Structure 1
Amino acid sequence: MTIINNKWGWLFITSFKGISQVIFIDNAASGFIMLIAITLASYPLGIIALISSMVGTLVAKIGGADNESINQGLFGYNSVLTGMALSLFLTGNDRWLIAAVGAAIAAIVTAAMMHFMRQTTIPILTFPFIVITWFLLLSTYRLVTFKISSALIPQSLSHWTPDIKGQINLLTGALDSMGQIFFLDYALSGILLFLAVFLAGWRWGIYAIVGTIAALLTSYFLKGEHTLISHGLYGYNAVLTMLAVSEVFKENHRYSVVTGIFAACLTIPITASIDTWLLPYGLPALTLPFVVCTWIFLAARKVMSQI
């Protein structure tokens, strides 16, 4: 019985870390708070987040991956995001099964990309999640088993006009900038996610706030669509980029904070560009702006040692 309990305890702790690693945090307590934040916004989404993290963890364990990486939750976070995205962007009763299978595939793709990028020392970040989610969503146009949500509608660029009318709720925009990392549009969830980040360290929390402010100001002065700003859709990539460049992968670079702020600001035009590029396909940008900006600055540091 003790062995069984230990196994279940290990699985839950590692799965909580898989959730927290979405924001680079290796802390089961932070992951548990994040799971509560997700569940408060959507009970089914909280379930699929936990199941997806467990699936990714178990696939890595059964597959014989490095135990240290597994225990840090590094095979869980892409599975978490993939499972959540597929459950949101697909329809039909079988989308839960598809989401779980997608979570398993995410763990395998994560392992493959770890191998391919090992020599570069550039982290894979959330790229496996992006690729798997896009591929499965696009397959719905050819494979009728997969049914895409009506919210994802391909649109023609020739008829597209940005809507910059109405007021911007900066507080809501700030909280949702954190929440949208997990596809959440709920103020209380945003507050809990900020608390989870501060639990990992006060610097983490400060950088998350700075990234949020950078995103709000940049998107406002560049006259981004007010609805997108208020719902945090310009902010979540900036938060992740700020944390990645300024804290997680800083490697004692002198100007890492300044570089992080600049990188966070850069996610805004990149997000607008990627959104426009994907408009004819009806696909969400997901975390690609964060991945692109972070890769750019981490690669640049290989040549410019002070940034």
Structure 2
Amino acid sequence: MGGTAAGRSVGAPAGRGAAATVLHGLSQIFFQTNVLTGLLILAAFVAQNWWMAVLVVLGSAASSAAGRLLGAPGADIRAGCQGFCGALIGASTYSALGAPWFSYPLAIAGGLLCAPVTKLTVRLLETKPFKRFDLPSTTAPFCLVATLIWVGIDGLRLNSPLRLSGTDPQEFFASLFTNISQVVLVDSVWGGALILAGLFIAHWKVGVAAIVGSLVGTVCAIAMHENLQRTANGLSGYSGVLTAIAFAVVFAKGRWVPWVFAVAGAAITAVVTLAMHQLPGPTYTWPYVLTTWLGLVLIQVSPRLHRR
């Protein structure tokens, strides 16, 4: 993600056209270029709310269009690499505001802004202090734009109370799915199941990595005495899902090293997530971004570790 098609899955039905580009943008949130995966992620949004799905599509389309205007390669646009941050902007707009009329121009504006922010982030990461580490921009542009929107709509934001699941075992098993759904700001066991199915369709390693990251995130949250409501709602473990996929499938090379990095990275991400919960405002996917950058730096400086 973030400049190149980082995770085209084996045998993935890529597709062409505007609809395929938008669906690729959804699947690229999880490093995939797969129409079926994108459809199931879209279904997870629909399961949460139809209007959320509309905002996601608008954000993704706007981000892809702006990327084209800024000269992004056509292959990257078609693969969804310019659309995934915009899709997340649409989701975060719904999460903050619901679906009043002004959510739609805001999602479009935020999606448009993702393209230049992505370009600037990539340029920053290509400067001398960072260039040697070859760090991807990944979802950092989304985090920056979403935070700007969140600050700008102070006073309009919804106050969404956490959902209480029930008994502790129910909360534990619910979190394994909501960790996955909360990557895209959906609080739904069924949404998580739909997304997980899409990840297995992309490649079995992607699905297994998502489960590993989710499980590690929940276990770490419980070990650190995190609020069970947050654990059940996936707010403690969602970033670890992305970290696990990033290392197990996309960035780390080797037979067992990628999975060690996936487990360790998900655990570190959980710690970063809980630390960032002390800050005002949403953390978005910053814990995943920061942990992944740290892991990639470690791989780059270690002579025994290699990147894909």
Q: TM-score, normalised by structure 1?
A: 0.86
Deviations 1:229-288 (A, max 9, x none): 11111111010000112211113375221121011011112111111022xxxx111111
SS of equivalent residue, structure 1 residue 100: helix
* Contact kept in structure 2, 1:245 and 1:260, CA below 8 Å: yes
CA distance in 2, matches of 1:216, 1:305: 32
Matched, 1:102 2:104: no
Deviations 1:181-214 (A, max 9, x none): 1111112111110000001111111111111111
Tell me which of 122, 129, 139 is aligned to 2:142: 129
Match of 1:76 in 2: 83
* Contact kept in structure 1, 2:56 and 2:89, CA below 8 Å: no
SS of equivalent residue, structure 2 residue 253: coil
Deviations 1:91-141 (A, max 9, x none): 653122111100110122112222332434111111111111112222345
Matched, 1:112 2:120: yes
Deviations 1:126-184 (A, max 9, x none): 1111111112222345xxxxx5314289xxxxxxxxx9x97351221111011101111
Match of 1:28 in 2: 35
Give the drift of 1:306.
Answer: 3.3
Match of 1:160 in 2: none
Match of 2:290 in 1: 292
CA distance in 1, matches of 2:69, 2:206: 33
Give the drift of 1:28.
Answer: 1.6
CA distance in 1, matches of 2:120, 2:135: 14
Q: Which amino acid aligns with 2:258?
A: S
* Contact kept in structure 1, 2:52 and 2:90, CA below 8 Å: no
Match of 2:50 in 1: 43
Matched, 1:183 2:156: no
Query: Structure 1 residues 152 and 191 mapped into 2: Cα distance closer, same or farther (>3 Å)?
Result: closer
CA distance in 1, matches of 2:38, 2:143: 21
CA distance in 1, matches of 2:298, 2:156: 38
Q: Which amino acid aligns with 1:167?
A: D
Query: Structure 1 residues 52 and 59 mapped into 2: Cα distance closer, same or farther (>3 Å)?
Result: same
Deviations 1:11-53 (A, max 9, x none): 1111100011111111122111110111111110111111211
Give the drift of 1:62.
Answer: 2.7
CA distance in 1, matches of 2:179, 2:25: 20
Unaligned runs of 5+ in 1: 1-7, 142-146, 154-162
CA distance in 2, matches of 1:199, 1:152: 32
Q: TM-score, normalised by structure 2?
A: 0.85
Match of 2:299 in 1: 301
CA distance in 2, matches of 1:83, 1:306: 41
Q: Which has the larger radius of gyration?
A: 1
Match of 1:243 in 2: 245
Q: Which amino acid aligns with 1:43?
A: W
Q: Which amino acid aligns with 2:304?
A: Q
CA distance in 2, matches of 1:21, 1:110: 15
CA distance in 1, matches of 2:26, 2:134: 23
CA distance in 2, matches of 1:152, 1:271: 19
Query: Structure 1 residues 206 and 9 mapped into 2: Cα distance closer, same or farther (>3 Å)?
Result: closer
SS of equivalent residue, structure 1 residue 277: coil
* Contact kept in structure 2, 1:87 and 1:96, CA below 8 Å: no
Matched, 1:219 2:221: yes
